[in-house]
Amino acid sequence: MLIQERLVAGLKCIDLENDHIKISILPGLGSKMIELYNKESKTHFLLEPQNEKKTYLKPNYGDDFSSFDTSGFDECFPTIENVIIDTNDEENGNQYLEFPDHGEVWSRPWNYSTLNDSLNLEIDGVKQNYKLEKNISLSGKVVRIKYTLRNFGDDKFRFLWSAHPLLKVYPKAELILPPEVTSVFLNWSSEKSIGEYGDIKKWPITIEDNGIIDLSVVQDKYLGKAVKCFTDKLNYPYGGLYYPEENESIVFYSPSAEINYVGLWLCYGGWPEKIHPGHLTVAVELSNSRTDSLAKSIKNDDCGYLAPGESLSWEMYIELFPGKVNSSDIFKN
C-alpha cells in the first residue's frame, strides 16, 4: 500500500492506495474522507463539496454543519443533533452538557501518524475527557477502520457514534439492506405527509407524488424530499448502494457487537430546507443508536456507555463489489 501527502484547499491530505482503490483523508478537517475511488471502474463514490465555493472550509467548534461543505465521510460523535444532556451525577451535583450539531469531532483537527501501512488518527473530547482513535488500512477492495474510544474522565461517558458517508448518487441507483429489514424507524422527514419522528414505516418507504414512488431507489433532486430513518437492531448490520450504470456496489458493514443499526439519509433535493432543489445524496450510516439525538438515545437506553477508565473498540468495513451484491458476499473479510 502507498501512503502519500499533498495539499487540498490549503489543507494537508493523506492518500492511501493499493492496486484497487484509493482513499483521501483530511486530518485537519475532522479526519474527513474526501475521496473513495475505484481504480478499476474509475468511480468516485463520495459527494463533492456542496457549498457555493465548491471547496473545503475550516469550521470552528460548535458551527452549524450545513454551513460548510456537507460532503465526503465525516464522523458524528458523541451525537448528531445538537443536544443538552443531564449527566445525572448526583454525587458531584448534576451538570448539563451541550454538544454541538453533528458532534464534537467533525469540525476539529485530528492528530495523525502512519505505521505499518496504515493511518492512525486521534482526537480528544471537549466537554468530557475522552479520546477517540481510528486506524485505517486497505486490503483489496476493502477499507478497514478500527475505532477505539477511551474514557479518561472521572465520570461515566455516554455517547452516540454514527458514520456519516455522503455518497455521490444518480436516479435509479438502488439501496441495499439485509432482507430481514421490512420496516424502519422515522427520525426526520422533510414533509409531515411522509411521517414524523417515531413513526414506523414499511420498508421500502413509498410516497405518492404523481404516482407511487419507491424511496429505496434514488430519485431526481427535483422531487424535493428527504428522509432520515433507521433499521431495527441487526445482528449483522450492513447497507449500501448499487450503481446500475457501472454495475457495481458499495457496502458498509460492521462485525462488532457494539454496532447494531443502519441509519439511512435519503436526500432527493429535500435538504437543506432553505434551498430548492437541495442536495442529491444518500448516506448509509452504521450506528450504535437508533436516533440522531444523544438525549433521546439516553432516554431510550440504547446509547454507548463507558465507566471511568474503560475503553471500547469497534470496526467498520467499506467494500466495493462488482455487480449487485448478495448478502452471502458480505462479512467475508
Determine the pLDDT at residue 299: 93
The average pLDDT across 96-108 equals 96
d(CA 286, CA 299): 20
Identify whether the C-beta of residue 216 lies closer than 8 Å to the C-beta of residue 262: no
What CATH number labels 62-329? Answer: 2.70.98.10
d(CA 314, CA 317): 10
The average pLDDT across 94-111 equals 94
The average pLDDT across 279-284 equals 98
CA-derived radius of gyration, the chain: 19
Question: Alpha carbon of 77 to those of 52, 192, 227: distances in Å?
Answer: 26, 28, 21
Q: Which residue is it, cell 495523525?
A: 112
Say what the pTM is: 0.96
Determine the pLDDT at residue 275: 87
- Nine cell digits for residue 43: 468511480
d(CA 125, CA 12): 22
Determine the pLDDT at residue 87: 74
pLDDT band for position 103 (50/70/90)? Answer: very high
Determine the pLDDT at residue 327: 84
d(CA 253, CA 260): 10
| DSSP H helix total and E strand total for the chain | 1, 26
Determine the pLDDT at residue 328: 84
d(CA 146, CA 135): 5
pLDDT band for position 333 (50/70/90)? Answer: low
The average pLDDT across 66-77 equals 97
Q: Are strands 183-189 and 225-230 parallel, antiparallel or unpaired?
A: antiparallel
The predicted-structure confidence for 252-265, as pLDDT tens digits, reads as follows 999 999 999 999 99
Determine the pLDDT at residue 326: 84
Averaged pLDDT of the chain: 95
The average pLDDT across 25-30 equals 98
pLDDT at 92 over 60: no
Exposure class string for 133-150: b at 16+ Cβ within 10 A, else e: bbbbbbeebbbbbbbebb
The predicted-structure confidence for 233-257, as pLDDT tens digits, reads as follows 999 999 999 999 999 999 999 999 9
Q: What is the number of other CB atoms lying within 10 angstroms of the CB of residue 162?
A: 26
Determine the pLDDT at residue 8: 97
